[in-house]
Amino acid sequence: MKTKLLDKTNLQLIAAAAMLIDHAAFLAPTYFIFYLCHFIGRITIIIMCYFVAEGYYKTHSVEKYLIRLGIFAAISQIPFYLYSVGLSSSIYGFIAGNYSHRNVIFTLFTGLCLLAILKSQAKPILKAIAIICALYITRCSDWGAFAVLLIVAFGIFHGKTKHQIYSLIILFFIRFIMNHFSMTLDFAQTGEIVLTEVYSAFTQLGALLAIPLLSMYNGKRGRGTRFGLYVFYPLHLLLLFMLKFMFFSV
């Protein structure tokens, strides 16, 4: 039997550390460390999606859970925008309405909405419309359709670890192929390949490191704060933006 060593707090601490490493990659002294940071950071989204789906079953009120996620998504948008784009472009773009690129908590919020609708007694046609709408509004969001569908898969197969892992692997490789199809096509046509694209593709494989971590989840909450990871998300983005501004004048 596998030993279940990790509780929710442990896994969320791992996710937070991986997130920080990923987003701080711009400080890396070498390209190897830069891509290694992104490789490690892929763990985070899997753990976040997993606990959103877990939260659907363990929360006392899905409606209140959605409200909380929505509030954190709204709070996180400006720090995310500042970190992603920079100060001058961010302020002008945000005021001008160029804020379509949304943070990952918005994506998680949408995934939870979709899971709630699919688990409800709504008519099939309404569920189909909900799927289309969820995929459309997250087309410019961090992790987009992959995270939305992963939350749904984790939720539908709740309590069935093998099915959850199979779903993760299938969705991961569909996304991997779609994101890197042009690289494969260029190689087939010209025999040439851009090394940075290979390195970028390699970093995506880090998401699979989440599988052994989740397999060690013991189902317990642990001693962590209730919203620790969601508070950490905008705060660390603000901190990293300030570092970018001080050292790189972005």
pTM of the model: 0.91
What is the count of structural domains for the chain?
1
In a domain, 146, yes or no: yes
Q: For residues 91 and 14, what is the distance between their CA atoms, to the nearest angstrom? A: 32
Q: In this predicted structure, what is the pLDDT of residue 111?
A: 98
Q: In this predicted structure, what is the pLDDT of residue 215?
A: 93
Q: Print the domain residue range for 194.
A: 8-248
In a domain, 165, yes or no: yes
In a domain, 27, yes or no: yes
In a domain, 2, yes or no: no
pLDDT per residue as tens, the chain (250 positions): 457 899 999 999 999 999 999 999 999 999 999 999 999 999 999 999 999 999 999 999 999 999 999 999 999 998 998 898 877 665 666 555 555 689 999 999 999 999 999 999 999 999 999 999 999 999 999 999 999 999 999 999 999 999 999 999 999 999 998 887 776 666 556 766 777 788 888 999 999 999 999 999 999 988 877 788 999 999 999 999 999 888 876 6
Q: In this predicted structure, what is the pLDDT of residue 94?
A: 58
Q: In this predicted structure, what is the pLDDT of residue 107?
A: 97
In a domain, 1, yes or no: no
Q: Could you tell me which residues come within 8 angstroms of residue 139 by beta carbon, excluding any fewer than 6 positions away?
A: 145
Beta partners for residue 102, in sequence order: 141
In a domain, 181, yes or no: yes
Q: For residues 44 and 159, what is the distance between their CA atoms, to the nearest angstrom? A: 21
In a domain, 188, yes or no: yes
CA 152 to chain centre: 14
